[in-house]
Structure 1
Amino acid sequence: MKLATLALAALSLATCAQQSRLDDTQWTIAAVNGEPVRTALPVEIRFDRGRVTGTAGCNSFGGSYRVDGDRLNTSRIISTKMACAGPGMEVEHTLFAIIANPARIRLDGRTLTLANAQGSATFFGLR
């Protein structure tokens, strides 16, 4: 029983550590599926106390998030619905597909990677 309690406590601490490492951070996109991103408008994502917000290449978005182990889970993601010319819409479509599904989190210094079956997005930390 003690071993199970200790294992559960360790898992909870690891989840809290990931959540707290994302809290109050802001990231700008560097690559989608390994390809550098160049869009007319910035692509950024911010995490703050269970809220995720950002700009996705054309539209702004927001919703809720939680971290379960090494997985980012979002819910209630909403966005504006403008259409934009150029690569912004393609980047946005891929980014929304990634964050709409549980994504594996990899934090390496000032680099954040979110990845799942829909693709991967790599960001550089702004704060």
Structure 2
Amino acid sequence: MKYITTIIVAFFLASCGAHMKNKQSINTSMNKKWELSAFGENKTSSNRPIYLDLSENGKVSGFVGCNRLMGTYVIESDNQIAFSQLGTTRMACGAKEMELEGQLLQLLSGTNSFTIENGKLNLSNGQSSAIFYEMSDNKIVNKYWKLTTLMGKEVEMADNQEREQYFILKSDHTITGFAGCNHFNGSYKLEEGNRIRFNENLAVTMKACLDGNNNESAFLKVFKMADNYTINGDVLKLNVGRRAPLAVFEAVYF
């Protein structure tokens, strides 16, 4: 009887040890910055990266669209997580930013499960979900790059132009931007040696701006031609081979 009891105790301790080891492994994979990519199948768009920073001590912080976030979280099992004591700063932003922030906060408040696979975190509350990617620390990613020079010539905004021409690279390897009349999006790939490749089939809206910016096609062509980049502080150059830069950009911070 004593022998059987010893076996049961040993089995129980081994199970607890395996569970704790598995939980530590989960914590390690969770403890990083996660950039929001999509709600379900719908991609998100923002001029600043929306992210969660899950620390080792059970604290969560980040940026949720307009305000900074703070709170706590606990991993309750292999795939269960709960956020609590969530709070934000009190900044007011545009309707689009506030709507996105409200959706994310509502999701986090009810989140009860998660999965991590191939650098992607999925949080779910049973009815909706959000997808996050490991936040890139590459200097070219997660910055608002405003076009300043195109094919060697300084650019100026047309009188009726909606906004400056720009692009943003996100951690999920997607690109979004504004070409002067139309918005565009697509994908990109970074390689060693400051090599960069953009998907040649960028998706571009079909707005007609007859009296607007007349260099839109030239700007979009940059992303078809560029194969490398140079970056010096807040100045970025997209190049092809070793020729003069196709375009020069300046980082803008909000």
Same fold (TM > 0.5):
yes
Q: What is the Cα deviation at residue 97 of structure 1?
A: 1.6
Q: Which has the larger radius of gyration?
A: 2
* Structure with more relative contact order (C-alpha pairs < 8 Å, separation 6 or more): 1
Matches within 5 A, 1:4-23: 4-23=12-31
1:32 to 31, 39, 60: 39
Partner letter of residue 101 of structure 1? G
2: distance between equivalents of 1:13 and 1:68? 14
Residue aligned with 1:100, SS? helix
Counterpart position of 2:82: 73
Say whether residues 1:48 and 2:55 are aligned partners. yes
Counterpart position of 1:59: 67
1:97 to 106, 109, 120: 106
Instruction: Number of aligned residue pairs: give it.
Output: 126
Matches within 5 A, 1:111-122: 111-122=120-131
Q: Are the aligned partners of 1:44 and 1:56 in contact in 2 as well (CA < 8 Å)?
A: yes
2: distance between equivalents of 1:109 and 1:22? 12
Partner letter of residue 62 of structure 2? G
CA deviation profile, 1:70-110 (whole Å, cap 9, x unmatched): 12222211101223214222221121122223431211122
Q: Are the aligned partners of 1:28 and 1:126 in contact in 2 as well (CA < 8 Å)?
A: yes
Q: What is the Cα deviation at residue 118 of structure 1?
A: 4.7
Q: Are the aligned partners of 1:64 and 1:75 in contact in 2 as well (CA < 8 Å)?
A: yes
Alignment TM-score, normalising by the size of structure 2: 0.46
Evaluate the alpha carbon distance shift between residue 118 and residue 94 of structure 1 in structure 2; reply closer, same or farther with a 3 A threshold. Answer: farther
Q: What is the Cα deviation at residue 56 of structure 1?
A: 0.5
CA RMSD between the two structures: 1.8
Residue aligned with 1:121, SS? strand
1: distance between equivalents of 2:96 and 2:115? 25
Structure 2: runs of 5+ lacking an equivalent: 1-7, 137-254
Evaluate the alpha carbon distance shift between residue 10 and residue 102 of structure 1 in structure 2; reply closer, same or farther with a 3 A threshold. Answer: farther
Partner letter of residue 122 of structure 1? I
- The percent of aligned pairs where both chains have the same amino acid is 22
Q: Are the aligned partners of 1:39 and 1:87 in contact in 2 as well (CA < 8 Å)?
A: no
Evaluate the alpha carbon distance shift between residue 92 and residue 125 of structure 1 in structure 2; reply closer, same or farther with a 3 A threshold. Answer: same
Q: Are the aligned partners of 1:63 and 1:75 in contact in 2 as well (CA < 8 Å)?
A: yes
Q: Are the aligned partners of 1:97 and 1:118 in contact in 2 as well (CA < 8 Å)?
A: no
Higher fraction of helix:
1
Q: Are the aligned partners of 2:111 and 2:123 in contact in 1 as well (CA < 8 Å)?
A: no
